[in-house]
Amino acid sequence: MAISHQPVMVDEVIQYLITIPEGIYVDGTVGTGGHSLEICKRIAPKGELICLDIDRSSIRLAKERLSVFGDRIKIIKESYVALDGVLKRIGIDKVNGILLDLGVSSYQLESSGRGFSFIKDEPLDMRMDEDRGETASELVNTISMEGLQEFLWIYAQERWAKLIARAIVEERRKGPITSSRQLALLIETTIPVKYRPRKRHPATKTFQALRIAVNKELQNVADFLEKCPSLLVKGGRVVVISYHSLEDRLVKQAFHQRKKENISPRKLPIFPITSPPLMKALIRKGLRPHHMEVTVNPRARSAIMRVAERTYNE
């Protein structure tokens, strides 16, 4: 199968992530292996790469694509939140660099058949890890109207959250909502014609919020950031590319070791970062992709990259 996913900000990732070519690195979200392929080339012949992803079919594609690197690369189906356990299992104490490229891959959107996209008619699943958790369909068919409204607003700032939540609850009284097309059409017809966004599909935000909720994306980022410093050698780096302002806020908060922001928990799911300041941000402001990259790779449009370095030994 041709791989459609173009890795985002590859040159910047390589520049900041790789400090020594003979080091041990982690790609926590290997996807179909775009970043990993470039990392492997740069750390040949002595460096090692450990790749994780929770998406079974992405793992399979990455394995095919990266097999040329032999045993210098390990590809494991596991969450990046469990990286500490993975390293322990394979006898590694600390690594030289960790990359997280968050969000959803083009492969998942276009070819996974799991309802990530409102353009297709597929079962409304949206789980990146098909082996566990509640599907998007189970979620929209069981959650309370208030709960639905709240996460549409929190995760996607959907201004029609209340209207959409009410429409979903009414629709599911007639029968369960099971497909991406059914949900997309429902939202399209719910938002008043004159307010429908022109540049994007009216269901964009709902789909984004659902995906974030189903995969517990923000909680995972927060949990990883807590553990991350203790997994890096002194001088080791962590590079995170986010595609959502709340994700980026968590990363920024951890890398700049700010005090917990004083924002009402109803408005923002900010998770307190309690680990001691073992990392310092290497770049003050988040990096954005070059405009040339955005024109050829639309997924890069909302990307923001941050980098931190482990400062001292415990």
Among the listed residues 12, 23, 25, 33, the single contact to ligand SAH using CB under 6 A: 33
Q: Which is nearer to ligand SAH, 36 or 190 (CB)?
A: 36
* Shortest Cβ 266–ligand SAH spacing (Å): 25
* Residue 75, strand partner residues: 51
* Shortest Cβ 181–ligand SAH spacing (Å): 23
* Shortest Cβ 209–ligand SAH spacing (Å): 16
Nearest Cα to Cα of residue 258 among 233, 281, 239: 281
Cα 227 to Cα 60, 238, 271, 311, distances in angstroms: 27, 12, 13, 15
Between 41 and 80, how does the x/- string for binding to ligand SAH read (CB under 6 A)?
-----------xxxx--x--------------------xx
Among the listed residues 24, 26, 39, 81, the single contact to ligand SAH using CB under 6 A: 81
Q: Which is nearer to ligand SAH, 105 or 137 (CB)?
A: 105
The CA-to-CA distance between both ends of the chain, in Å, stands at 46
Q: Is 101 in the site for ligand SAH (CB under 6 A)?
A: yes
Q: Is 115 in the site for ligand SAH (CB under 6 A)?
A: no
Between 281 and 300, how does the x/- string for binding to ligand SAH read (CB under 6 A)?
--------------------
Structure token digits, residue 167: 């429409």
* Shortest Cβ 29–ligand SAH spacing (Å): 3
3 state DSSP class of 311: coil
Q: Is 125 in the site for ligand SAH (CB under 6 A)?
A: no
Output phi, psi for 49, to 5 deg.
-130, 130
Decide: 197 and 205 in contact? Cβ < 8 Å.
no
Q: Which is nearer to ligand SAH, 103 or 202 (CB)?
A: 103
Give CA–CA dist 204/8, Å, rounded: 21
Give CA–CA dist 18/299, Å, rounded: 24
Residue 312 gets the label, from left (phi > 0), alpha (psi -120 to 50) or beta, of beta
* Number of residues located near ligand SAH, criterion CB under 6 A: 23
CB-side neighbour CA atoms (13 Å) of 312? 3
Q: Which is nearer to ligand SAH, 169 or 294 (CB)?
A: 294
Query: Of the listed pieces 24-32, 134-142, 166-174, 251-259, which binds ligand SAH according to CB under 6 A?
Result: 24-32
Cα 77 to Cα 60, 97, 98, 222, 236, distances in angstroms: 9, 19, 16, 20, 24
Q: Is 220 in the site for ligand SAH (CB under 6 A)?
A: yes
| CA 54 to mean position of chain CA atoms | 11
* H or E stretch at 86: helix 83-89
Q: Is 103 in the site for ligand SAH (CB under 6 A)?
A: yes
Among the listed residues 96, 105, 180, 242, the single contact to ligand SAH using CB under 6 A: 105
Binding residues vs ligand SAH (CB under 6 A): 5, 7, 28-29, 31-35, 52-55, 58, 79-81, 101, 103, 105, 128, 215, 220
